[in-house]
Structure 1
Amino acid sequence: MHVHPLITDSATLANLCARLADAPFVCVDTEFMRENTYWPELCLIQIADTEEAAAIDPKAPGLDMKPLLDLLTENDEVLKVFHAGGQDLEIIYNLTGKTPYPLFDTQVAAMALGQGEQIGYSNLVDSWLGIQIDKGARFTDWSRRPLDDRQVDYAIGDVTHLSKIFPRMLERLKKTGRGAWLDQEMERLGDPANYANDPDLAWKRVRISGRRADVLGRLKAIAKWRELEARSKDLPRGRIVKDETIADLAGHPPKRQADLAKVRGLSTTWASNDIGKRLMTAIEGAAPLSTEEMPPRDDRKPGLGKEGALVADLLKLLLKIRARDIDVAPRLLARGEELEALAAGQRGDLAILGGWRFDQFGRDALDLVEGRLAFAVSGGKLTMTRTERLA
Structure 2
Amino acid sequence: MSDIPQHGFATRAIHLGYDPLDEQGALSPPLYLTSTYTQDSIEAFDQIRLGERQGYVYGRTRNPTQALLEARLASLEGAEAGVVTASGMAAISATLFSLLQSGDEIVVDQIVYGTAFTLFAQGLTRFGVRAVFADFTRPEAVAAAIGPKTRAVYFETPANPNLRLVDIAAVSAIARGKGLLTIVDNTFATPVLQRPLAHGADIVLHSATKYLGGHGDLLAGAVLGRQEHIDAIRLQGLRYFTGATLSPFTAFLVLRGIKTLELRVQRHSESARQVAQLLRGHAAVADVFYPGLPDTPGADIARRQLSAGGGLVAFELKGGLAAGRTLLDSLKLARIAVSLGDPETLIQHPASMTHASYSAEDRERYGLSEGLLRLSVGLETPEDILADLKQGLDRL
TM-score (norm 2): 0.28
Whose radius of gyration is greater, 1 or 2?
Answer: 1
Flag the structure with higher helix content.
1
